[in-house]
Amino acid sequence: MSKYEIESMSHGAYAISTDPDSGKKIFAENACPGDILELEIYDERKDFSFAHITELVSKSDLREEDPKCKLHKICGSCQWQHIKYEEQLNFKKQNLLDLLKQNQVDLSNFGDLDENISVTGLDDPWHYRNKVIYPVSSVKSTGRVMAGYYKRKSNDLINIKYCPIQYEIFDQVIDRLKELCTEYGIHDPLLRHMLLRASHDQSELLISFIVRGKLLSEADLEAIEKIFEQIYGEYEQLKVCTLNINDDSTNVILGKETRLVKGERDFIYDQIKDVKVKISTSSFFQINNKQFTNILDSIIGYVKEIKPLQVLDAYAGLGSISLNLAKSLPEMKFEAFEINSSAVADAHENILENELNNLNYIEASAEDYFRSLEAEFDLIILNPPRKGCTNKVLNEIVARDEVKDIVYLSCNPATLARDIKYLEKKSDFVLQSIKAFDMFPHSFHLESLVWLSRATDSNL
């Protein structure tokens, strides 16, 4: 069997080598640049192949000696845990730069890219996830309930007992929920997922069971009430237990209907930078409070430098960005829109809770909002989902001459690079600043923040 040297990391789970004979790229999981490996090709395509490691001939110095999680090689959640944390940050930066270059984004303002663009890491890159959603399965012969993540590229569930990237309290509570569900006979296919969410200090906890409504009998409902009643008495942090109904067969996890089953309110409170936020079961909330606080500091910094008259926060969720901007900059006026009605309801209460009178919040899709927009914003903050913005939305933005600046926060460097290039091509937007933040340590994912301005004589 031939030996291969690993050269780089891909924009996903794979590391890359090149077949010296054919010149074809070979993609292998759990490999690290600098490794010399024996590989077995299991999927050969026209231009590249996929391979398994059969032997680690010589280990790279960039490998993590002792990964925290025993399941990291198979679990779909942490694809890069076998790489030293500092090196993960370097590979993420390289991937971001590669994508910007592949999309031919104009980087001429940035001089030495390696020097001038960095990824902000975390001093402690563990126990950062404030929310988990575990799919549920059960052992058919015994009825024992299991919950965890899927194995990579498979529908086989790993019954997780310990996960070092999520808040510590989740391990114990999920374990107890599995015991109670086994005792009361609540499992798949009725119970699809367990969702847990906690405030950053873990003083407030929310549990939701996502169930198929069509399969939910009166007896099941009673059993779920008993499970929630029992666990509510065991954890003083537990404030909310909800049932979310999802009968769809798509991969969208949460359904539209959420019912409060136990608790005095159907949301938890958290603090994000300077504002208190209310978070319901199905509202989007950034997963890593510490790193999101760093991002908010940068966004506030940009806004202070830009000094806009009117700011729009687009794809605003429950308002984490605009609430903080409105609080830090009381002399400015802000508007925000979001498609998810639960997040918008949370946002309205968050505005009242934080006594803000300079933020207007609207429920709308981006497409509808921009089509009927009359107000004139000179700064637009974009934070779309992974798929990025549609051309329709970007066209509406570039057509408005009053929009002088865009601050774009993205969890997907590929769609971010695509959208920056589109803005450069369609209009005279110029990239002013690029920052990246490691919001998802040990995975290949990266959060990036850029600022673009309309070209003027001074920034050309």
Instruction: Please enumerate in sequence order all residues whose Cβ is within 8 A of that of 364, keeping only pairs 6 or more positions apart, or say none.
Output: 337, 338, 339
End-to-end C-alpha distance for the chain, whole angstroms: 55
What residue is closest to ligand SAM based on CB? 317
Q: How far is the CB of 341 from ligand SAM (least distance, A)?
A: 10
Comparing CB distances to ligand SAM, the nearer of 137 and 410 is 410
Q: How far apart are CA 454 and CA 404, in angstroms?
A: 5
By beta-carbon proximity to ligand SAM, the closer residue of 29 and 338 is 338
Q: Which of 161, 385, 391, 425 binds ligand SAM (CB under 6 A)?
A: 385
Q: Report the chain's C-alpha Rg in angstroms.
A: 24
- Least separation in angstroms between residue 89's CB and ligand SAM is 22
Residues 343, 280: Cα–Cα separation, whole Å: 7
Residue 438 in contact with residue 411, Cβ under 8 Å? Answer: no
CA distance 126 to 132: 14
* Overall residue count recorded for the chain in this entry: 460
Which CB atom, from 409 or from 423, has the smaller least distance to ligand SAM? 409
Tell me whether residue 228 or residue 451 sits nearer to ligand SAM (CB atom): 451
Both tokens of 204, joined, read 């407030």
Stretch of 30-38, 53-61, 261-269, 381-389 contacting ligand SAM, by CB under 6 A: 381-389
In whole angstroms, the minimum distance from the beta carbon of 381 to ligand SAM comes to: 8
Specify the residue, 13 or 382, whose C-beta has the smaller distance to ligand SAM. 382
133 interacts with ligand SAM by CB under 6 A: no
In whole angstroms, how close is the CB of 250 to ligand SAM at the nearest point?
Answer: 15
Q: From 302, 274, 289, select the one nearest 408 (Cα to Cα).
A: 302
Q: Which residues are catalytic?
A: 411
Q: Is 317 in the site for ligand SAM (CB under 6 A)?
A: yes
Q: Total binding residues for ligand SAM by CB under 6 A?
A: 17
Three-class secondary structure of residue 227 per DSSP: helix
Burial class (CB in 10 A: 0-12, 13-18, 19+), 216: middle
HSE-up (13 A, CA, CB side) for residue 449 = 23
The distance of closest approach from Cβ of residue 317 to ligand SAM in the complex, given in angstroms and rounded to an integer, is 3
Going by their DSSP bridges, the two strands 119-120 and 275-280 should be labelled as unpaired
CB of 93 to ligand SAM, least distance (A): 21
Judged by beta carbon, residue 63 or residue 131, the one nearer ligand SAM is 131
Tell which one of 316, 332, 359, 450 touches ligand SAM (CB under 6 A): 316
| C-beta atoms surrounding 374 within 10 Å | 4
Peptide bond into 189 cis (omega under 30): yes
Cβ closest to ligand SAM, residue 181 vs residue 299: 299
Q: How far apart are CA 125 and CA 80, in angstroms?
A: 13
Q: Does 377 bind ligand SAM (CB under 6 A)?
A: no
Measured in degrees and rounded to the nearest 5, phi and psi for residue 181 equal -65, -40
In the range 258-287, which residues lie near ligand SAM by CB under 6 A?
A: 284-286
Residue list 345-364, contact with ligand SAM (CB under 6 A): none
Distance in angstroms (rounded) separating the CA atoms of residues 454 and 81: 40
Which region, judged by CB under 6 A, interacts with ligand SAM, from 49-57, 117-125, 222-230, 315-323? 315-323
Stretch that binds ligand SAM, among 9-17, 150-158, 178-186, 333-341 (CB under 6 A): 333-341
Binding site for ligand SAM (CB under 6 A): 284-286, 315-317, 320-321, 338-340, 343, 365-366, 383-385
